[in-house]
Amino acid sequence: MVQPIKVNRLDLVEQYKYLLNNASNMEVIEINTTIAVKAAELRAKYNLKTPDTIQMATALEPNAAYFLTNDIRLKTVKEITTITVSEI
């Protein structure tokens, strides 16, 4: 959503928000202490950025099968199968 906000594409921002709130195959999960600790563990182990580890820890909490990203560096994380968009 960052790029649409940067270029003032509020229509795309609204589409993102709609998809996040209404996609049947996606669940929005609140961050809790368990996720925060797991994110810290991932950050310590893999030296990744905090936002990346928060997202990955959030995916791990409900035992997601895959983590989808455009960031190839995240494939180093062994705790979850990471797929890049180009692999789909």
Provide the residue ranges of all domains of the chain, joining segments of one domain with +.
Answer: 1-30
Q: Are the beta carbons of 42 and 56 closer than 8 angstroms?
A: yes
- The amino acid occupying position 57 is A
pLDDT digits (tens, 9 = 90+) for 4-24: 999 999 999 999 899 888 888
**40-54: average pLDDT:** 98
49 pLDDT tier (thresholds 50, 70, 90): very high
Question: What pTM was estimated for this model as a whole?
Answer: 0.76
Instruction: Please give the pLDDT value at position 26.
Output: 78
Does pLDDT of 42 surpass 90? yes
**What distance in Å separates the CA atoms of residue 72 and residue 75, rounded to the nearest whole number?**
6
Instruction: Please give the pLDDT value at position 16.
Output: 87
